[in-house]
Structure 1
Amino acid sequence: MGAEVETWHEPDETTLTQQTTRKGRILNITILAWHQMLMRGTKDQKMYRHPFTLVRVHVTDDIGNSVWKPMWLVVIGDRREEISPPVAYQSFRQRFDIEHMFRFSKQRLLMTQFQTPDVEHEENWIRLVMLSYVQLWAAKELATHLPRPWERPKEQNNDKIVTPSVVQRDFHRIISEIGTPARSPKTRGNSIGRVQGQAQTQRTKHPVVNKQSKSTPDKQKAA
């Protein structure tokens, strides 16, 4: 679509704004928006029933050179008119941080390691992982940098952002110093177990979902 500029009609909304990077570089942002757009659908997906807002974001430097390729965004849904083009752009920029959060939660907070057939239990586990991530964020001012043997030590109280991994290394010390309002656990006897004759309810069986195999082009099949 970027090569067919002459086919565009006038945008319904144009927004010009500026952004200053951490290094003090000023970026000019041009946001164009076309409302009530439609795309070609299929027999199963009637896309004419789902109008959307098309957003084009172009970032240039102070002399007009493009910093990145123009970015195209789609805002779709019944409440799309409540989201302005600048808000859509800023929300998409936060996707970078969200992806890092999911990656860290899977690798360091065991987000995907909890195996259960109960959806409610899985949702509770995800909430617990999110709470632990918030705890790491809240303790970032208390963390001390503990570098690995192969990492370069850095000065304390610097202006660099403390990552969740750095806080997690020192979180045991932070928790030990803060303490907990909970009482210490007490030992108890053996559980009485299930009552004799008690029957366990069987789990609901669900159909197995198999991923479809990717179609192979005829040329690759012939090779």
Structure 2
Amino acid sequence: MSLPCASVPEDAIGQLSCFRTELYACLTARGDALFELTDALLCTEGPVRTLVDLALAPEHRRSHGALYGGLNQGRIDIARLQRALTGLPLPRAADGRLVLAVDVSPWLRPDANTCPDRSFCHTFGRGEGKHQMVPGWPYSFVAALEAGRTSWTAVLDAVRLEPGADVAAVTAVQLREVVDRLIAAGQWQEGDHEVLVVLDAGYDGPRIALLLAGLPVQIMSRLRSDRVMRRPTPSRVYDPKGGRPPKHGGEFIFGDASTWGAEQAVTSTDTRLYGKATAQAWDRLHPRLTRRAAWLKHDGPLPIIEGTVIRLVVEKLPSGGVNKPVWLWWSGTGATEADVDRCWQSFLRRFDIEHTFRLFKQTLGWTKPRLRSSEAADRWTWLVIAAYAQLRLGRPLATDLRRPWEKPAPPNKLTPARIRRGFRNLYTKTGSPAGAPKPSHPGPGRPPGSKNRHPATQHDVGRVLATGEAFSRPAHHNVGTKPRRGTLPPHPRTEGSHPFGFDCSIA
């Protein structure tokens, strides 16, 4: 089902008004304060620097205390809001299929010792040590990608990763729920192309493909250049000496061209940025699994997960960086030249979600609030997602209020930040379902000069040992000391890193 309106209007104003009404219905506690906070986020001019500044916007008719009260004590029906986002018109690829991108973006809180549920987040490009582990709240986002060069995506879901979470297992559950909602909303029907899910390095693509078996999805992930794959199991031949038959074929070493053999398909495409792009594909390759890490407690024999390996090489790089080949793994087999081109071009579109993260952090101020509760951080994250969805619905209605130094852009090419400049004009057309504030007086608070006799509890950053058990510091280390950040090996996922080697990091 789509939005629970009697009939979703065809005009853009009707769609935007209908979504705003449904958003207000999703705010089950302190809804007026949360809804006006979202309007202030959309209508405030310039980037959001601090959370309390939003209380000064004309659209926020309440005090700054109501702003923080809504985030700390409010409630949001997340399931209903997820269904509302899924029921909106979604972008599709040129062939009509849905392309989903999954990525993790951190909300860094290195000095927030009183905040619970913090994990070590991998960051890139911070100071001289490019790879660092900084405490914070990592969020896993799922977004639908558009075709062509654009900075727009359609964010469908966000999940905060708990300390020590199995990223592949959490991602698989998140994707399964998103695909089920897409099917229930009529976004995918029997006979349509399978949904393509694009993952960056750091995700175990074959394992996620196995966990999503039975769903109409295809998985495509980037692989490290030092991987070794195996060919299909050879035909069993009688051996008079006996012995167990082999389970895996010969090795396919990414760094050794002598082991590649003949390609399944080869394509060559002229691109505007990279010059000539050549893609080679080898069919029915699989990783050799061992009983360790995630496969330690797997029941039965280890599976053989076959797919297609694609090697992409470009002629040049726009920034003049190191030109390295990109290795991709696609869960499908029997790839044609059209499949190979669609796969690597869809993978490059995955980096559009980096523009969404940059908008969330630099313009909408997603990581600006210094909230103590992780539940309040979740509420603020969903308000930012809801605000971004309204910007997407306002694309055909916005007027280009460009700066004198900016180039004119057609209405369908406006960026989210430029549409936000004129959202105050759309706000007057759609109206607000929030009720008027009631007169009130602030409480007395703590008497001046008195000390806080109930200090907040300090929490260690969530760490998990190699055995899977939670880390606990010895008791004698907790006396008179502050929580330590600790050290963990760097996560293989690098937010903002470009597949061909040059840096496109975001703030």
Classify the TM-score, shorter chain: 0.5 to 0.7
Write the distance in 2 (CA, Å) between the matches of 1:36 and 1:211.
33
The aligned counterpart of 1:177 is 429
Q: Is residue 104 of structure 1 aligned with residue 359 of structure 2?
A: yes
Q: 368, 374, 378: which is aligned to 1:119? A: 374
The aligned counterpart of 1:162 is 414
Write the distance in 2 (CA, Å) between the matches of 1:74 and 1:182.
48
Range moving further from structure 2, 136-145 or 86-95: 86-95
The aligned counterpart of 1:130 is 385
Shift of 1:29: 5.7
Shift of 1:108: 0.2
Write the distance in 2 (CA, Å) between the matches of 1:17 and 1:73.
15
Write the distance in 1 (CA, Å) between the matches of 2:376 and 2:416.
25
Write the distance in 1 (CA, Å) between the matches of 2:343 and 2:383.
29
The aligned counterpart of 2:484 is 208
Write the distance in 2 (CA, Å) between the matches of 1:115 and 1:169.
25
CA, structure 1 residues 159+136, in 2 after alignment: closer, same or farther (shift >3 Å)?
closer
Aligned pairs for 1:5-44 (under 5 A) are 5-9=257-261, 14=264, 30-38=280-288
Three-state SS of the structure 2 residue aligned to 1:174 is helix
Using structure 2 for the length normalisation, give the TM-score.
0.30
Shift of 1:134: 1.3
Shift of 1:138: 1.0
Write the distance in 2 (CA, Å) between the matches of 1:38 and 1:9.
19
CA, structure 1 residues 150+88, in 2 after alignment: closer, same or farther (shift >3 Å)?
closer
Write the distance in 2 (CA, Å) between the matches of 1:30 and 1:89.
10
Q: Aligned partner of 1:56: which letter?
A: I
Shift of 1:117: 3.1
Conservation of the 8 A alpha-carbon contact between 2:268 and 2:278: yes
Conservation of the 8 A alpha-carbon contact between 1:28 and 1:59: yes
Q: Aligned partner of 1:148: which letter?
A: R
Three-state SS of the structure 2 residue aligned to 1:135 is helix
Q: Unmatched 5+ residue regions in structure 2?
A: 1-224, 226-253, 297-301, 318-323, 447-452, 461-482, 491-507
CA, structure 1 residues 115+19, in 2 after alignment: closer, same or farther (shift >3 Å)?
farther
RMSD, aligned α-carbons = 4.6
Write the distance in 2 (CA, Å) between the matches of 1:16 and 1:5.
15
Q: Aligned partner of 2:309: which letter?
A: V
The aligned counterpart of 1:146 is 401
The aligned counterpart of 1:55 is 309
Q: Tell which has more relative contact order, 1 or 2 (C-alpha 8 A, sep 6+).
A: 2
CA, structure 1 residues 32+117, in 2 after alignment: closer, same or farther (shift >3 Å)?
farther
Three-state SS of the structure 1 residue aligned to 2:365 is coil
Three-state SS of the structure 2 residue aligned to 1:37 is coil
Q: Aligned partner of 2:438: which letter?
A: K
CA, structure 1 residues 209+32, in 2 after alignment: closer, same or farther (shift >3 Å)?
same
Using structure 1 for the length normalisation, give the TM-score.
0.61
CA displacement, residues 189-208 of structure 1 (integer Å, 9 cap, x when unaligned): 334769xxxx8584352243
Three-state SS of the structure 1 residue aligned to 2:379 is helix
Write the distance in 2 (CA, Å) between the matches of 1:138 and 1:20.
34
CA, structure 1 residues 188+165, in 2 after alignment: closer, same or farther (shift >3 Å)?
same
Q: Aligned partner of 1:55: which letter?
A: V
Three-state SS of the structure 1 residue aligned to 2:328 is strand
CA displacement, residues 1-53 of structure 1 (integer Å, 9 cap, x when unaligned): 66732222456xx467898989xxxx8865434532249x9xx9799989875
CA displacement, residues 162-213 of structure 1 (integer Å, 9 cap, x when unaligned): 210110111111112321122222222334769xxxx858435224314579
Alignment size in residue pairs: 189
Write the distance in 1 (CA, Å) between the matches of 2:431 and 2:399.
18
The aligned counterpart of 2:493 is none
Range moving further from structure 2, 181-190 or 163-172: 181-190
